[in-house]
């Protein structure tokens, strides 16, 4: 009986994810779900992305955190609409949370909705929120062993961003080993190397986003 209940709940979330995606499609909005462990640099990357695309792309952001509105406050300073979701201990966002957040935006005035998920390399990987692409961000200080430790995240991702590459000279992160492990799990997964501090790879990342926008 418990298994049936769990299946029913999961199906409900999946159905709502499809509703979210259809809503976004009806407005020609592209949506990404950015996932990473805590401290990988998602918010800083997002801040620089907004600055990079400002004037060309109309962006809204959904911020997911266990507690506080600090990340949403940072993003709000960039002049884009942002909704903060606090999961109160939950390890991931779900499609019902995204449904509620989308209702707070003027969708007719947007090109892209960026979801910054709760910092976690396990739970968020298997939840469909209604996004079009899943993006995993890994930072150099975390080490090159993350694909092997958290394979589902890399198997489910549509894009991998290797962030904080400016720190490579000061770490023992082995890029070749990292790339090999990723390709074993997901041979078609594109990997972009970035540094939000130095700007390395940011133009390519910005163009990747622009190419995905339907308008």
Show the domains of the chain with their CATH numbers. Answer: 2-212 (3.40.50.300)
pLDDT in tens, 56-72: 999 999 999 877 788 88
Q: Tell me the two tokens of residue 182.
A: 């990723």
121 near 143, Cβ under 8 Å? no
Q: Tell me the two tokens of residue 45.
A: 């990357």
Place 215 in a pLDDT band, splitting at 50, 70 and 90.
low
| Maximum CA extent, the chain | 54
CA distance 82 to 96: 17
Place 133 in a pLDDT band, splitting at 50, 70 and 90.
very high
What's the average model confidence in pLDDT over 180-205?
97
What's the average model confidence in pLDDT over 133-160?
97
From residue 60, alpha-carbon distances to 6, 36, 104, 140, 173 in Å are 32, 19, 10, 28, 33
Q: Which residues pair with 135 in a beta bridge?
A: 34, 159
Q: Which residues pair with 34 in a beta bridge?
A: 116, 135
Place of tokens 């769990």: 6
Least confidently predicted of 8-12, 88-92, 104-108: 8-12
Run of H or E residues at 180: helix 175-185
Q: Tell me the two tokens of residue 161.
A: 């961003």
The distance in angstroms from the start CA to the end CA of the chain is: 46
Place 5 in a pLDDT band, splitting at 50, 70 and 90.
very low
CA distance 32 to 135: 7
Q: What is the Cα Rg of the chain in Å?
A: 17
What's the average model confidence in pLDDT over 138-161?
97
Who's near 168: CB < 8 A, 6+ residues apart? 140, 175
Q: What is the pLDDT of residue 87?
A: 80
């Amino acid at each position: 009986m418990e298994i049936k209940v769990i299946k029913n709940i999961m199906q409900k979330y999946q159905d709502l994810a499809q509703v979210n995606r259809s809503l976004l499609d009806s407005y020609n909005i592209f949506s990404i779900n950015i996932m990473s462990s805590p401290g990988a640099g998602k918010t800083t990357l997002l801040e620089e992305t907004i600055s990079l695309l400002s004037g060309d792309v109309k962006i809204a952001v959904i911020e997911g955190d266990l507690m506080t509105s600090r990340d949403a406050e940072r993003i709000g300073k960039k002049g884009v609409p942002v909704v903060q979701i606090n999961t109160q201990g939950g390890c991931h966002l779900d499609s019902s949370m995204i449904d509620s957040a989308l209702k707070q935006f003027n969708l007719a005035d947007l090109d892209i909705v960026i979801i910054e998920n709760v910092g976690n390399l396990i739970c968020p990987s298997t939840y469909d929120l209604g996004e079009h692409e899943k993006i995993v961000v890994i930072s150099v200080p975390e080490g090159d062993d993350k694909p092997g430790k958290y394979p589902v995240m890399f198997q489910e991702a549509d894009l991998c961003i290797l962030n904080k590459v400016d720190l490579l000279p000061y770490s023992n992160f082995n890029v070749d080993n990292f790339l090999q492990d990723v390709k074993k799990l997901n041979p078609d997964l594109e990997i972009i190397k970035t540094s939000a501090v130095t700007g390395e790879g940011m133009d390519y990342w910005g163009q990747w986003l622009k190419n995905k926008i339907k308008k």
